[in-house]
Amino acid sequence: MARDVRRVSRPAWPLPDLAAVIARRLEEPRPLAGGEIAEAGTALSIGSAVLRQLTRANSAPGGASAIRGSRIGACARSLAYRLSGTATAGRTLDARARAVFALGDMAEGYVTAALGDGLAQVSGPGALRLRDVRSASGQRGISLSVDVAGETVEIPGHPDGMICRADTGAALALLEVKSAAPYKFDRAAALVGAGVSGWRPDLLPADHPARRRLVRDDVRPGEWFQAQTYLHALNLDYMGVVIVDKSSGACVSWWEPRDPAFMGTLSRHLERAQAHRGADANPALVPRVLADGTALEATVDLHKIRGTPNKGHGRLPWNCVYCPFWRVCWPGSEERVERDWSGRARRWVYTT
């Protein structure tokens, strides 16, 4: 695994560079600090996480749930479809998707084990331990209560672990480990290298040379909303985020701070999603808006002189391509497979 160690900011407690801890541990294979029992438990944990893609129709930890931390950043209308029990009609989990998830689970379990053991090798003042990581029997569940128009909504989630003081056991930060495709990893690494959170291109200075390249349609990704949900549920100030590139094995990490404005943003987003609940529920009236306020719209790309549609005209954002409701949300739209500059096939959805 390449050493790629970058940090955004340091909390008051001297939390380490997680990517550096992981890289050091991976470069020095040796028995786990907990001995054979720890090794057997880790093997079972990684194995069961991978196997669940093969053995369970709904493999999310904790089972199916209309609203959960990992999808809270999704567009308000997709949340409304889930809340109303609308049958899915869009992206399905095919063989490739399940294989990708299983590989991601494997990479995340491997990196988490390396991090936990790397931290366990250090003792004395400032020593840390990783607790509450996924075991073969499950993952610790948490829940955030949000007031939405006078009603309390519970948002469940499953953090990847808790970083604690070795001496007192006090929790200092949450841990989130994500595996990512190369383009997503490169984006996070570039942002961290530029001194901001790997999920916050909006924090780059307006004149930063990479801003145009790094700011996408959705300014803050769903992972940021998931992280804030967990931080607020457990009242912790920081989350240690590790991203591992599934292709190169490189890791990047940073400390994501809790955002005091998050609860208001979340409440507004859920209000939008729940605006058309009840007997006369009509999710089609809910705006197609992400949690950060970004509207999801079809690309408008017309010939400058003739006004006829160019090749990309009508293409839906990637969020819709991966949404299980795109066929009901955009009636009449169609799937097209196109090849990029390298000849790689890519699926898109177009309005017609």
Interface residues toward ligand SF4, by CB under 6 A: 75, 77-78, 288, 296, 319-320, 323, 325-326, 329-330
3-state secondary structure labels for all residues of the chain: CCCCCCCCCCCCCCCCCHHHHHHHHHHCCCCCCCHHHHHHHHHHHHHHHHHHHHHCCCCCCCCCCCCCHHHCCCCHHHHHHHHHCCCCCCCCCCHHHHHHHHHHHHHHHHHHHHHHHHHHCCCCCCCEEEECCCECCECCCEEEEEEECCEEEEEEECCCEEEEECCCCCEEEEEEEEEECHHHHHHHHHHHHCCCCCCCHHHCCCCCCCHHHHCCCCCCCHHHHHHHHHHHHHCCCEEEEEEEECCCCCEEEEEEECCCCHHHHHHHHHHHHHCCCCCCCCHHHCCCECCCCCECCCCCCECCCCCCECCCCCECCHHHHCCCCHHHHCCCCEEEEEECCCCCEEEEEECC
Least distance (Å) between residue 105 CB and ligand SF4: 24
Closest to ligand SF4 by CB, 197 or 319: 319
Query: In the complex, what is the shortest distance from the CB of residue 83 to ligand SF4, in angstroms, rounded to a whole number?
Result: 12
Q: Give the residue with the Cβ less far from ligand SF4, 110 or 225.
A: 225
Question: Nearer Cβ to ligand SF4, position 75 or 177?
Answer: 75
Q: Which is nearer to ligand SF4, 116 or 324 (CB)?
A: 324
For residue 334, the minimal CB distance to ligand SF4 (Å) is: 13
CB of 219 to ligand SF4, least distance (A): 16
Q: Name which of 56 and 346 has its Cβ closer to ligand SF4.
A: 346
What's the closest the beta carbon of residue 82 comes to ligand SF4, in angstroms? 10
Cα dist. 334→81, 288, 317, 344 in Å? 20, 18, 13, 20
Between 185 and 330, CB nearer to ligand SF4: 330
Measured from the CB of residue 125, what is the shortest distance to ligand SF4 in angstroms?
49
CA dihedral 234, 259, 63, 249 (to 10 degrees): -110
CB 293, min distance to ligand SF4, A: 14
Comparison of 45 and 78: residue with beta carbon closer to ligand SF4: 78
Least distance CB 323 / ligand SF4 (angstroms): 3
Nearer to ligand SF4, 75 or 192 (CB): 75
